[in-house]
Structure formats: C-alpha cells, structure tokens
C-alpha cells in the first residue's frame, strides 16, 4: 500500500486515517491495542503522529488488512518482530514503502499514456 503523506514532523489523526483509507476510530483503537503505537498529544489532547508512528501503523495495517491477521495474531507478530532484529524489520519496511511509492508513480505515468 502506497502512503501519500507530505514530509513533516507531525501528522494529525485525520491525515493518517485518510492516508491509510481507514476511520480515525480504528487508529485510536490500534493505539490502545498496540503498545508500539504511542503518538504524542498536544495541550488540547490532539494526537500528533511522528514518522515512527506512521511506520508502526503501516506494519499493523499490513498485518491486519493485507495479510489477514487477527488483532491478537498481529499483536503476537509485532512482539516477535520486536524481539528479533528490529533494524532488519525497519529496513524491510522502508524498502517496501519505497517500492510501493515507485509502483504508484509508475501507475500514474501509465494512466497518463
């Protein structure tokens, strides 16, 4: 899945939900369920997601929406990934994101031809 978000330090929950094509309530639910997802909150209580949070959401999205894991299965897989080589997982996620971006750009070029 290609995520179309501008480069900035913090993202609001609405921006994140729109980028993933899900409702904001699902993002809030994932925040409660997955300990790796910890967005910052401003003085008004609004959630502010960093690039790291976006990467965690992308991993959760891939496990649940694309690979068909249950929430409990996704939690277990996330725990396993954190116990194993986390840098390797981060590199894989980064590589997948880059490839998805290239695929998206190529599809746009193809549609213009």
The model's pLDDT over 84-106, given as tens digits with 9 standing for 90+, comes to 444 455 556 677 777 888 888 89
**What confidence tens digit (pLDDT) does each residue in 48-91 have?**
999 889 888 988 998 998 889 998 998 888 888 764 444 455 55
Tell me the CB-side half-sphere exposure of residue 113, using CA atoms within 13 A: 6
Give the closest residue to 1 by CA, choosing from 51, 65, 49: 65
Kindly report the backbone phi and psi dihedral angles of residue 22, in degrees, each rounded to the nearest multiple of 5, phi listed first: -125, 170
Global pTM?
A: 0.70
Phi/psi for 86 (5° steps) reads: -60, -40
């Amino acid at each position: 899945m290609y995520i179309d978000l501008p480069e900035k330090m913090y993202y609001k929950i609405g921006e994140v939900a729109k980028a993933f094509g899900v409702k904001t309530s699902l993002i809030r639910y994932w925040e409660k369920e997955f300990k790796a997802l910890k967005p910052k909150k401003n003085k008004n209580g609004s959630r502010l997601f960093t690039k790291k949070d976006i990467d965690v959401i992308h991993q959760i999205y891939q496990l649940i929406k694309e690979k068909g894991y249950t929430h409990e299965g996704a939690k277990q897989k996330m725990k396993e990934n954190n116990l194993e080589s986390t840098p390797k997982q981060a590199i894989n996620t980064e590589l997948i994101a880059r490839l998805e971006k290239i695929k998206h750009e190529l599809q746009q070029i193809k549609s213009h031809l």
